[in-house]
Amino acid sequence: MTFLLCLACTTLAWDEPPKAAAPAPAAIDVVSALEKTLADAIARAEPSVVAIHRDKADNAQETLAVRGKTRRPRQVGPGGITRARPLGEENDQISFDFGSGVVVGDEGQILTAFHVVKGARGLIVRATDRQVFEAEVIAADPRSDLAVIAPISTPGLEKPKLKPIPLGDAGALRKGSFLVVLGNPFNAARDGKASASWGILSNVSRRIDQDIDDVSFTRRAPPQLPNYPTLLQLDAKLNLGMSGGAVVNMKGELVGLTTMASSPAGFDAMAGYAIPMDRMGRRAVETLKQGKEIEYGLLGVRPHLQSTNRVETVAPNSPAALGDLQRNDEIIGVNGTPVFDFDSLILAIGAYSVGDSIRLLVRRDGQEIEKPIVLAKFPVDGEVIATTQPPAWRGLRVDYLSTLNARPAGIELLDALPAGVVVREIEPDSPAARAGLKKWQIIRQVGDQPVVDPAQFAKAVADLNGPVTLLTDQGPIVVR
């Protein structure tokens, strides 16, 4: 009986007509869906993209448009929106020194490429809804070529209405990922409306070597970070003025910042390059938004001439020397991240900050061993801008000894140095200035207590009152 019932059910199933397959979507529907996705991503990101005009003196050696420095007067435009007129120019005139930026902070902080604002004596920003206002640099880092600027705030004037863009993760991108680029090509965004282009991610972690005329070869520091293999390569067309523009994913999130500085002559002019908003990029943005200096970890080794992961020289008194690294050691890992050559070593170390403890996997004489290392501070070469500084002690700020390599006519990176901290800044007419302390002096002891880093120095002087004797490389100095 059971068998007959099953057979009957099977027969009824066979008698049912087959279900029709769902019709394939029309080609126009697929294209329309892609078009809508692109338009939505642009619409979400566009209000956060601005145009930047730089007023720069010829052969300017210093950036003057910095928070806390003297600035020129501003004007107030219709509706109370803050306006400023470039020196010698009317607001509706065409600027020939321009770039792009992206709003990344709730207080109106704008991320851009440092070379867009470097040397500026004034910055004019044009944003959505035809807002025009003057801005100032709050922090800049020449090593990553990143800077953050902010509207100048004046009591009684309306603040610009700016919309920050959400940060995405460039580490999740793959070759072929659809990306949109927004910026100010040829200064076309004088009405505050960014121009858009789109394409795919052509490659990740590209290394673009600059022309020899564009690189300052010094004996104090290696090439800066844009030369290392961190850049995203885009097939979206970039033109003059797109530096500092937004690279966004299909969700409208910022995953990169365009940079034209890494598209030298001899490379495909159609190719674009961008600084990725990966772990390192997001850390840099958050630090600069606070007006602080980005501090990079320093290991203290020089690579083999072929730029392999084999150590050629270990700097005396460096973290590498204190961690017992030796010549001809092969560094094959940093905290579990594989290392294949010196570029990948620099990237792995660059992901950590000064004072961080890391573990190096080293191959020595055919055997793999682990070495714990505490990183010092990488000496960044160039104009570092940080308007939020740690508290000064009696007008004195100190830094890691390794930063001596960034001073003008600095010492060789691998020269032996005594232990101590270096004088980074002396406030005018302060007790430290009156005591005769000078920038770049080395402080070895506070009283009888040796100091080897800024944290030790701060702890040593924290509760001291009255005259304090500092033992320096130029003898004892009493600070009252």
- For 198, the token pair is 């789109």
- Containing H/E element for 10? helix 2-15
Cα(368)–Cα(309) distance, rounded to whole angstroms? Answer: 14
Return the ∠ at Cα 197 (arms to 32 and 120), rounded to 5°: 150
- Say what the pTM is: 0.82
Q: Cα dihedral sign for 380, 384, 388, 394?
A: positive
- For 428, the token pair is 């005018």
Segment 263-302, tens digit of pLDDT: 444 555 556 889 999 988 999 999 999 999 999 888 988 8
The per-residue b/e assignment along 402-433, b for 16 or more CB within 10 angstroms, e otherwise, is bbbbbeeebeebbeebeebbbbbebeeebbbb
Q: Which residues pair with 180 in a beta bridge?
A: 198, 248
The beta strand positions in 128-253, using DSSP E, are 131-141, 146-151, 178-183, 195-206, 231-234, 246-248
pLDDT at residue 224, rounded to an integer: 41
Q: Which segments of the chain belong to CATH 2.30.42.10?
A: 297-377, 389-479
Q: Which segments of the chain belong to CATH 2.40.10.10?
A: 44-151, 170-210+225-289
Pick the CATH number of 170-210+225-289 from 3.40.50.2300, 3.40.640.10, 2.40.10.10, 1.10.520.10: 2.40.10.10
pLDDT at residue 72, rounded to an integer: 55
CB atoms within 10 A of CB 450: 12
CB atoms within 10 A of CB 252: 19
Q: Which residues pair with 366 in a beta bridge?
A: none
| CA within 13 Å, CB half, 476 | 7
- For 114, the token pair is 């440092």
CATH topology of domain 389-479: Pdz3 Domain (2.30.42)
User: Which parts of the chain register pLDDT below 50?
Assistant: 1-14, 74-93, 210-227, 261-265, 409-415
pLDDT at residue 236, rounded to an integer: 79
- Asked whether 148 and 110 are in contact (CB, 8 A), the reply is yes
- For 395, the token pair is 């007008």
- Asked whether 179 and 330 are in contact (CB, 8 A), the reply is no
pLDDT at residue 80, rounded to an integer: 43
CATH topology of domain 44-151: Thrombin, subunit H (2.40.10)
- For 312, the token pair is 């050629």
Give the CATH superfamily of 297-377. PDZ domain (2.30.42.10)
Backbone angles phi, psi at 84, to 5 degrees: -145, 145
